[in-house]
Amino acid sequence: MSKGNKKEGSVLTAIVIGAGMRGTIYAQYAQMFPDRFAIIGVADPREFYRRKFQKDYGIREESCFSDWSEASKRDKMSDCVIITTPDRLHKDPALAFAKKGYKILLEKPMSVNEEECREIVQICKENSVTLVICHVLRYTPWAQKLRILIDSGVIGEVVNINHTEPPPGSASRCTDCPSQIETTCPYSAKKIYLDHIKNADTGFPVSVITEEPTIESVTTALKTGPYGVCVYDNDNDVMSNQIVSLLFEGGATASLTMMAFTKSVSAREIKIYGTRGQLSCVATESPIIEHFDFLTRQTREIPIETVLSWEKGMIGHGNADLCCIHSFVSGLANEKPSELVTGPEDSLTSHLLVFAAEKARKENRVVTLQPDGSYN
C-alpha cells in the first residue's frame, strides 16, 4: 500500500487499533466520505467488535487482528493508523506504528504517564511521522472561530494587565496623555469618571474620588489623586485576572475565577455541581437560580423571595449591602446569631484561604492549609 506519496484525490487508508466507541466514531468518516477515506484493517481482542468492524467496512480476513502487535509486524498496510485502545494501552502501539512510518491519530490522553507521553512524541519526531491527538473540541467551528478572533486582536491581549507595557508616547496620568492615545484607551480615567459627570451621574464611581462630584472636582482628583494614574504605569500589584483551585477534605473541589475585564461590572456567576444535579445563578439585580436534575434531565427556575425592598443608597452589590446590614441589625436586636452568617471563625477561614492562594501564586506551588491555619 501507499508509502506516503499519495496522489491528489486518492483515498487515504487506515487501520483501526481498538474497535470500541471512539474507534467506531472516527471510522464512520469512511462511510460518510468513501471517496476520501477507507478503513482497510482492524485490531481488537474482542471478537464481536472486531467482526462488526469487518462487516461494516468490508475488511478482508487477513487484515483483521486479535492483537495489534500482529498488525504492527506486517509490512506497512495503510497510510495511517487510528489508535483508540484504552488510555493505559496507548504507548506501545503508538511507538510500534510510528517506527513503521504510519501517520497516527491517537485518542486522548496520549498516556496517563508523563514519561510515556514524552516518549511517544520523541519517537514520532525521530521517525518523521505525523502525530495528531484527538483533542476534538479544538476542531469545532466555534473553537476555531474563537482562536481566529483572539489572534486578530479583537479583544486585545489575553494577559494580566499588570504585565503589559504602556503604549509608546503615553503619559503617567490620563489627563496628561496625548488625545490620540487617551481616546483609544479602554481604561482611560477620563472616560470612566468624567463621562459620568457629563451625564449628570454623581453616584458610583465618581462619588468615591471626590466629596462633591463636579467636572472641576473630578478633573482635579484625576490630576492629583491615585485614580488618574495610567493603568499600565503604576505600582499596583493586584492581579487583574486569576484562577484559584481548591481541594477540600472529603474530595470536593472548587475553582474561583476572578476577571477584571467583563461586559458587566461586578457580575458574579455561580455554578455548583452535585451528584444528582447542578445549580447555577447569575448574581444580577434580579437573579434567578436554575436547577438541572441529572436523573430527569429537566431544568427548572427557582424564584428567589425578596425579603427587603430596594432603598435609595443601599443597592450596592446587587442589594447585598442592604441585606448584610439588615441581618446584622436584626441578628443583634433579636439575639439570633444564626442571622450573622459571617462570624469571626468562618471569616478567618476565608481570609486564610485567600492568603494561601496568594502564597501559592507567588511561590508557584500547591499550598496546604492546615487546621490550625498554618501552611505547609
Task: Give all strands (DSSP E) within the chain, no chain letters.
Answer: 12-17, 37-43, 64-65, 80-83, 103-106, 131-133, 241-247, 253-259, 268-273, 277-283, 289-293, 299-302
CB 51 within 8 A of CB 75: no
Q: Treating both helix axes as pointing N-terminal to C-terminal, what angle do 114-126 and 91-99 enclose, rounded to 10 degrees?
A: 10
- pLDDT (tens digit per residue) in 238-247: 888 889 999 9
DSSP state of 258: E
The arrangement of strands across the sheet holding 289-293 comes to: 268-273, 277-283, 289-293, 299-302
Enter the C-alpha cell of residue 35.
471517496
Q: Scan for cell 486569576, then name that residue.
A: 242
Contacts 24+ apart (CB under 8 A), 120-125: 120/90, 120/91, 120/94, 120/95, 123/94, 123/95, 123/98, 123/99, 124/94, 124/98
User: What pLDDT does 148 receive?
Assistant: 85
- pLDDT (tens digit per residue) in 319-341: 677 777 788 888 888 877 777 87
Cα 21 to chain center, whole Å? 26
Enter the C-alpha cell of residue 123.
519517537
Q: What is the largest CA-CA distance in the chain?
A: 88
C-alpha–C-alpha distance, residues 230 and 280, integer Å: 37
Q: Scan for cell 468492524, then name that residue.
A: 53
C-alpha–C-alpha distance, residues 289 and 301, integer Å: 6
Q: Scan for cell 471478537, then name that residue.
A: 47
CB 301 within 8 A of CB 288: yes
Give the count of beta carbons closer than 10 Å to the beta carbon of residue 210: 20
Enter the C-alpha cell of residue 346.
468562618
CB 127 within 8 A of CB 99: yes
- Output b/e per residue, 256-276; b: 16+ Cβ within 10 A: eeeeeeeeeeeeeeeeeeeee
DSSP state of 222: H
Backbone angles phi, psi at 135, to 5 degrees: -80, 75
User: What pLDDT does 2 receive?
Assistant: 37
User: What radius of gyration do the chain's Cα atoms show?
Assistant: 30
CB 302 within 8 A of CB 288: yes
Q: Which domains does the chain have, with CATH numbers?
A: 12-139 (3.40.50.720), 161-228 (no CATH)
C-alpha–C-alpha distance, residues 121 and 98, integer Å: 10
Residues of the chain with pLDDT under 70: 1-9, 158-163, 265-266, 285, 307-319
C-alpha–C-alpha distance, residues 126 and 129, integer Å: 8
The region that residue 297 occupies, defined by phi over 0 for left and psi between -120 and 50 for alpha, beta otherwise, is left
C-alpha–C-alpha distance, residues 191 and 182, integer Å: 9
User: What pLDDT does 308 receive?
Assistant: 63
C-alpha–C-alpha distance, residues 310 and 312, integer Å: 7
User: What pLDDT does 7 receive?
Assistant: 42
Does residue 109 have a cis bond before it (omega within 30 degrees)? yes
Helix (H, G, I), strand (E, B) or coil at 278: strand
